[in-house]
Chains A and B, each alone.
Chain A
Amino acid sequence: MYPAATKGVLPKFFLDLTRLEGFAEIGDHDGMLRIGAATTWSQIAKFDLPPAFDALKQAAKEVGSIQIQNTGTLAGNICNASPAADGVPPLLALDAKVELASAERGTRVLALSEFIQGVRNTALADDELVTAILIPPIPDGAGSAFEKLGSRRYLVISISMVAAVITCDDEERIVDARIAVGSCSPVAQRLLKLERDIIGKTVQNIKLTEEHFAPLSPIDDVRGSGSYRLDVVAEQCIRAITRAIGHE
């Protein structure tokens, strides 16, 4: 709200949810991990979670600075619906769902990919709040990594980013893959064809094609050109997968 504030036209009403009971809690819920809407990025970074959440934790430490991570929330990150939101690709790669609540209509759950509908545009109705983010079970042994590219080390809006959650068999062949790309389309995307095509392969045998990146539509902006983004995102995918498997 504050960074984008326009002088003289602040909203008349503010609703502070950060201290509602349970709104900033992380816990189990019907077999899913439930992350309360007001959970901050600092909480995520410090919470004991399995390796499949490493990408989310790595992203947590890249959201602005510690100052931002101490106040910025997961729900804020997804409701802001920025194409460059650092939290979204890792959540997409975790198949995250969004729990919405309305006093009149009760609770509903949407996939994160359905919730974010466009640049600064979500499925949130006027009478709804995001109450939690839900993470369904992840295959045992999954690893993950977040690969962010920016023009400086800290406090930087991503030029492009990739989150990968990867499960391998004993021979390091990929058996499950979820790969999401941010800052390369109006809404961060899962690369479903890529995810399918790498099943059964080791990371050395992955062959990337243009088709794998067809869902992306990166724009030219001050941070980089669209063609540059498409160029680097392939390498980011390989590095994210490699790190997710545990090879730095």
Chain B
Amino acid sequence: MNDATHIKGTKFNLNGNPVEAFPTTGDRLSQVLREQLGARDVKIGCNAGDCGACTVLLDGAPVCACLVPAQQVADRHIETLSGLYKSDQLTTALAESFQNNGAAQCGICTPGMMVAAVALLRDTPSPSEQEVQDGLAGVLCRCTGYRKIIESVMTTTMPLAEEVQGHVGEPIRRVDGLDKVSGHEKFGDDFAPSGTLEIYVIRTPYSRSRFKLGDLDSFVSAHNGIEAVLTAADIQGRNLFGVIPQFVDQPVFAEVETRFRGEAVAAVVGTPQAIQDLDPGTFPVSWSELVAVTDITSAQLDDAGQLHDGRANNVMCGGFVTCGDADAALAKADVTVEGHFQSGFVEHAYIEPEAGFAQIVDGRVEVYACTQAPVMDLDALEVILGINRSKIRIVPTGVGGGFGSKLDITVQPYLALAALKTGHPVRLTYSRTESMQSSTKRHPSDITLKIGATSSGKICGFNFYGEFDTGAYASWGPTVANRVPVHASGPYQIPDYRAESKGIHTNNPPAGAFRGFGVPQSAIAQECLFDVLALKLGIDPLEFRVLNALENDTPTVCGQVFSQGVGIQQCFEALRTAWKTERHDVAQFNASSTKRKRGVGIAAGWYGCGNTSLPNPSTIKSGVLTDGTVVLHQGAMDIGQGANTVISQIFATALGVPINSIQLIGADTDVTPDAGKTSASRQTYVSGNAALLSGTALRQQILNKMNVAGDADLRIGNGLILATDFTGTHEYPLVGLETDDEGFVFRAEETYDPPTKPLDTNGQGAPYAQFGYAAHLVVVEVDTAYGTVIPTKFVAAHDVGKAINPMLVEGQVHGGIAQGLGMALMEEYIPGRTENLHDYLIPTIGDIPPIETIIVEDPDAHGPYGAKGLGEHVLIPTAPAILNAIYDAVGVRITKVPATPARVRAAIKAKLND
């Protein structure tokens, strides 16, 4: 037998070059490529063959590098995206096509996706849609909804994009797209040099437990290569973090008792080999499992274990909005309907697990990690580390998907503590299971709703009560509790309204922010019950919605009156044609089909952009250097949605220069002002306004200095500014001019904060300066014998005020629909049971049908160039539209998502037995 510890060189060909690696027996090819051969373009998302991010070509055939033992590739050829991009024409053409179509959003799946596509295109130069789906099915994407990827692979011969200004309204490529399609974008795990000390977090396997740590010093000295163990005792500041100031309740390391499965109690720091060899079972900790509460009903009983002091019956907090008199209206309504709706935990399932790197530089700790909120990370670390914030630098890496969960800190404190304790650079990348266990989730919901209407179809009374499982810690639970009652009406006129929400603690994973903050859950209840009500009234579901839709100058349920910008009616109007033709086609199909039945469903949604009645400013800084470079410090985290591009387009338009003359500097707490967190659909609106102000101010300074007309055409570059107005062209040389300490000749730093007003005890006020609106239509086919539901087409109308970049708008719509579809049909996170990407299912490339996006532009007075936020609106109508379509197809109401085949089939059988 061979000696397992004997490391023999493995020679093979990597991207056309002979290489030799020295894997330990059993090492995965993915790890060896990344850590020994520098091929960081090979991404690791699951280490189980479930996500395909690590796809490489082995002798031309796509394989998951995480499932290939490195020794197996001896004498063979491996190709990865960065190598293919350099030397393979097909790949460079595909890279163009990916950029032209917006097929890469966050970019973490892109290397795997493109490598799989290259293998397909080599065999099949003009693939059909089905062939693309078959060929790329092994790679999961969580951002794009796949349709633009399919388009890109089918149309690689598309002409190059023309030279563009890149101003507002142009569907330009992402400004940061090239790195994503060439394998050069660096994500959280891509910064640490090979050999950097690694961190492994010790987590409880129980929903609730007490624990005792053993002799840690002996553990460290007994293990070669283990440098340190971190526990609560290493925290110099407060062992607490959280995102809402009144609800900071989560420890970095549990101290006596753990409150959810996967909670951290300690962390081991060691060499890569020592961490790889570490058997967590040898770590000195003893557990005593305690009785846990894992559902919101038992959590509220008097004898239930209390998770936090001062939160009696495990009620974290609630939210409340009322106007008119809901009960009285319901009592006099001609028709009433009631429903009970439930949903489970939904996992964000970004393909990039949480990852980062930290080092000590000049006595300061620098943390490089994937994040949606660098300044909030800094705020949290300042408290935890107990050091002055000037001693901390946060440098966001590329973010391989966030969707809300990367707003909360994860790896950051462990990295900072380990770097400070050891004095050495350290890295930490969560395993897929660890990511799923410990990161936040979408709140499970339990909602009862009663709605009344007059016989003519006007809503008459609306009473909503929803409980949300916020898990072991608050995270963004209070935001969900506040947002839901404000939004539970949907975009409708409801004069008599009452909505109450509660967040309940359990020993489940912390539920936090996930695209929509509870609104997708409440929309399921409201939009499905609207269909019930419309049918009971005998009114067409679309007409019923049109009849009750919110309009300009009518109050929302919070008493807020918008005199402009309420675009929901246009969204409904945009669906009218499809609603008619699809229903006609479906009726024809159903007339001749017995086992398979089709249905059409619609649903609407609205979403307030920015924080609810709280300040949330963004600051954007720009300037001109003496060499003529226009610098834009853009701190709005681009997590794939396109903030880098959208903010640049707004700024370029305001300044009046082409977008390609701008040098973008991203978020970095040392050099770029705070543009706030990427959440609440606020970046286009809030940071966009800051960019508009900054660009406008910079332009004004230049115009003043050069004394030219307000509409002058500016050219900035090559050490001078040229301004052309009705009097001619004027020249302003920059070289040699006095600059500020950042090297700027001109400099404009501007801040925007949305105008909102607080909500009173009845939830009356002005919670948001703007809302965005949406309506989706979906056609589904139900296999009545199996209970499977296949959406076959979406038409999505979105009022975005002004589409800053229509291609990116479509990208958001597609991605949101994919997540809404997942929530509706397949996704449910169950602690201990679905902690990987083969038991927890997200949509694949074969699950997303064609999507027609209709962009409605009803400009908003507060938005930059009229633009409204979009990021969360895109999934709110999707799930209820699907559920309504299922009813239309087979006459069963699914009130608990996901509508799995088993649940749908059970409902169909129950109906047959009625």
Taking Cβ atoms with an 8 Å cutoff, the residues of A that contact B are: 2-3, 5, 7-14, 16, 18-19, 42, 61, 64-68, 70-71, 149, 151-157, 159, 222-225, 228, 231-232, 235
User: From residue 113 to 131 of chain B, which have CB atoms closer than 8 A to chain A?
Assistant: 116, 119
Q: How large is the interface on B (under 10, 10 to 19, 20 to 34, 35 or more residues)?
A: 35 or more
- Which residue in chain B gives the minimum CB-CB distance to A154? B137
**Minimum CB–CB distance for A243 against chain B, Å:** 14
Q: Establish whether residues A159 and B901, one from each chain, have CB atoms under 8 Å apart when the complex forms.
A: yes
**Cβ of A232: which chain B residues have Cβ within 8 Å of it?**
785-787, 901, 905
Interface string of B93-130 (1 = CB under 8 A from A): 00000000000000000000000100100000000000
**With A13-B1, A67-B116, A224-B900 in contact, do A153 and B137 touch (Cβ < 8 Å)?**
yes
Docked Cα-Cα span, A66 to B139, in Å, equals: 10
User: From residue 19 to 62 of chain B, which have CB atoms closer than 8 A to chain A?
Assistant: 25-26, 28, 47-50, 52, 55, 58, 61-62
**Cβ of A16: which chain B residues have Cβ within 8 Å of it?**
69, 71-72
Q: Establish whether residues B26 and A8, one from each chain, have CB atoms under 8 Å apart when the complex forms.
A: no
**Cβ of B536: which chain A residues have Cβ within 8 Å of it?**
none
10 contacts between A and B (CB under 8 A): A3-B48, A7-B278, A9-B279, A70-B63, A153-B847, A155-B138, A155-B844, A222-B834, A223-B902, A231-B909
**With A7-B278, A65-B137, A70-B62 in contact, do A224 and B902 touch (Cβ < 8 Å)?**
yes
**Cβ of B841: which chain A residues have Cβ within 8 Å of it?**
151-152, 156
**Cβ of B50: which chain A residues have Cβ within 8 Å of it?**
3, 155
User: From residue 760 to 795 of chain B, which have CB atoms closer than 8 A to chain A?
Assistant: 785-788
CB of B513 within 8 A of chain A?
A: no
- Which residue in chain A gives the minimum CB-CB distance to B72? A16
CB of B2 within 8 A of chain A?
A: yes
**Minimum CB–CB distance for B6 against chain A, Å:** 11
**Cβ of B787: which chain A residues have Cβ within 8 Å of it?**
228, 232
**Minimum CB–CB distance for B539 against chain A, Å:** 34
Q: Establish whether residues A71 and B280, one from each chain, have CB atoms under 8 Å apart when the complex forms.
A: no
**Minimum CB–CB distance for A58 against chain B, Å:** 12
CB of B880 within 8 A of chain A?
A: no
Q: Secondary structure at chain A's binding surface: helix, strand, loop or mixed?
A: loop
Q: Establish whether residues A235 and B785, one from each chain, have CB atoms under 8 Å apart when the complex forms.
A: yes
CB of B833 within 8 A of chain A?
A: yes
**Cβ of B61: which chain A residues have Cβ within 8 Å of it?**
42, 70
Interface string of B690-711 (1 = CB under 8 A from A): 0000000000000000000000
Q: Establish whether residues A2 and B135, one from each chain, have CB atoms under 8 Å apart when the complex forms.
A: no
Docked Cα-Cα span, A223 to B786, in Å, equals: 13
Partner of B48, one of A2, A71, A151, A231: A2
Q: Establish whether residues B786 and A154, one from each chain, have CB atoms under 8 Å apart when the complex forms.
A: no
Q: Establish whether residues B64 and A71, one from each chain, have CB atoms under 8 Å apart when the complex forms.
A: yes
**With A13-B2, A149-B901, A224-B902 in contact, do A155 and B26 touch (Cβ < 8 Å)?**
no
**Cβ of A42: which chain B residues have Cβ within 8 Å of it?**
61
**Cβ of B90: which chain A residues have Cβ within 8 Å of it?**
none
Number of CB contacts from chain A to chain B under 8 A: 145
**Cβ of A159: which chain B residues have Cβ within 8 Å of it?**
901-902
Docked Cα-Cα span, A48 to B737, in Å, equals: 76
**With A12-B4, A65-B52 in contact, do A151 and B63 touch (Cβ < 8 Å)?**
no
**With A67-B64, A68-B64, A70-B63 in contact, do A157 and B901 touch (Cβ < 8 Å)?**
no
Q: Establish whether residues B63 and A67, one from each chain, have CB atoms under 8 Å apart when the complex forms.
A: yes
Closest 9 CB pairs of A and B: A65-B138, A153-B846, A8-B279, A154-B137, A3-B48, A228-B902, A224-B902, A235-B785, A12-B4
CB of B825 within 8 A of chain A?
A: yes
**Cβ of A68: which chain B residues have Cβ within 8 Å of it?**
49, 64, 67, 138
Docked Cα-Cα span, A9 to B63, in Å, equals: 25
Q: Establish whether residues B26 and A222, one from each chain, have CB atoms under 8 Å apart when the complex forms.
A: no
**Cβ of B902: which chain A residues have Cβ within 8 Å of it?**
159, 223-225, 228
**Cβ of A152: which chain B residues have Cβ within 8 Å of it?**
826, 841, 843-844, 846-847
**Cβ of A66: which chain B residues have Cβ within 8 Å of it?**
62, 116, 119, 134-135, 137-138
Q: Establish whether residues A154 and B846, one from each chain, have CB atoms under 8 Å apart when the complex forms.
A: yes
Docked Cα-Cα span, A8 to B280, in Å, equals: 7
Among A7, A11, A223, which residue has the most Cβ atoms of chain B within 10 A?
A7
* Given A2-B28, A159-B901, 8 additional A-B pairs, CB 8 A: A7-B278, A8-B281, A12-B4, A16-B71, A64-B49, A70-B62, A71-B58, A222-B839
**With A8-B280, A67-B52 in contact, do A154 and B844 touch (Cβ < 8 Å)?**
yes
Q: Establish whether residues B786 and A149, one from each chain, have CB atoms under 8 Å apart when the complex forms.
A: yes
Taking Cβ atoms with an 8 Å cutoff, the residues of B that contact A are: 1-2, 4, 25-26, 28, 47-50, 52, 55, 58, 61-64, 66-69, 71-72, 116, 119, 133-135, 137-140, 276-282, 431, 785-788, 825-826, 828, 830, 833-834, 838-839, 841, 843-847, 900-902, 905-906, 909
**Minimum CB–CB distance for B519 against chain A, Å:** 25
**Cβ of B49: which chain A residues have Cβ within 8 Å of it?**
2-3, 64-65, 67-68
- Which residue in chain B gives the minimum CB-CB distance to A6? B279
- Which residue in chain B gives the minimum CB-CB distance to A229? B902
Q: Establish whether residues B830 and A222, one from each chain, have CB atoms under 8 Å apart when the complex forms.
A: yes
**Cβ of A70: which chain B residues have Cβ within 8 Å of it?**
58, 61-63
Q: Establish whether residues A71 and B63, one from each chain, have CB atoms under 8 Å apart when the complex forms.
A: yes
Among B48, B140, B839, B902, which residue has the most Cβ atoms of chain A within 10 A?
B902
Docked Cα-Cα span, A18 to B71, in Å, equals: 11
Q: Establish whether residues B844 and A153, one from each chain, have CB atoms under 8 Å apart when the complex forms.
A: yes
Docked Cα-Cα span, A246 to B58, in Å, equals: 37
Docked Cα-Cα span, A11 to B4, in Å, equals: 9
Docked Cα-Cα span, A65 to B49, in Å, equals: 9
Docked Cα-Cα span, A65 to B279, in Å, equals: 31
**Cβ of A149: which chain B residues have Cβ within 8 Å of it?**
786, 788, 901
Q: Establish whether residues A224 and B58, one from each chain, have CB atoms under 8 Å apart when the complex forms.
A: no
**Cβ of B71: which chain A residues have Cβ within 8 Å of it?**
14, 16
- Which residue in chain B gives the minimum CB-CB distance to A235? B785
Q: Establish whether residues A151 and B64, one from each chain, have CB atoms under 8 Å apart when the complex forms.
A: no
**Cβ of B278: which chain A residues have Cβ within 8 Å of it?**
7-8
- Which residue in chain B gives the minimum CB-CB distance to A224? B902
Q: Establish whether residues B786 and A235, one from each chain, have CB atoms under 8 Å apart when the complex forms.
A: yes
**With A8-B278, A16-B72, A154-B137 in contact, do A228 and B64 touch (Cβ < 8 Å)?**
no
**Cβ of A224: which chain B residues have Cβ within 8 Å of it?**
900-902
**Cβ of A2: which chain B residues have Cβ within 8 Å of it?**
28, 47-49, 66-67
Docked Cα-Cα span, A149 to B843, in Å, equals: 15
Docked Cα-Cα span, A224 to B839, in Å, equals: 12
Q: Establish whether residues B137 and A14, one from each chain, have CB atoms under 8 Å apart when the complex forms.
A: no
Q: Establish whether residues B901 and A155, one from each chain, have CB atoms under 8 Å apart when the complex forms.
A: no
**Cβ of A225: which chain B residues have Cβ within 8 Å of it?**
902
Docked Cα-Cα span, A49 to B538, in Å, equals: 58
Partner of B26, one of A14, A151, A228: A14
**Minimum CB–CB distance for B886 against chain A, Å:** 15
**Minimum CB–CB distance for B462 against chain A, Å:** 34
**Cβ of B58: which chain A residues have Cβ within 8 Å of it?**
70-71
Docked Cα-Cα span, A9 to B278, in Å, equals: 8
**Cβ of B134: which chain A residues have Cβ within 8 Å of it?**
61, 66
- Which residue in chain A gives the minimum CB-CB distance to B279? A8
**Cβ of A231: which chain B residues have Cβ within 8 Å of it?**
905, 909
Q: Establish whether residues A67 and B277, one from each chain, have CB atoms under 8 Å apart when the complex forms.
A: no
- Which residue in chain A gives the minimum CB-CB distance to B47? A2
**Cβ of B847: which chain A residues have Cβ within 8 Å of it?**
152-154
**Cβ of B64: which chain A residues have Cβ within 8 Å of it?**
67-68, 71
Q: Establish whether residues B138 and A3, one from each chain, have CB atoms under 8 Å apart when the complex forms.
A: no
**Minimum CB–CB distance for B491 against chain A, Å:** 31
**Minimum CB–CB distance for A2 against chain B, Å:** 5
**Cβ of B909: which chain A residues have Cβ within 8 Å of it?**
231
**Minimum CB–CB distance for A24 against chain B, Å:** 13
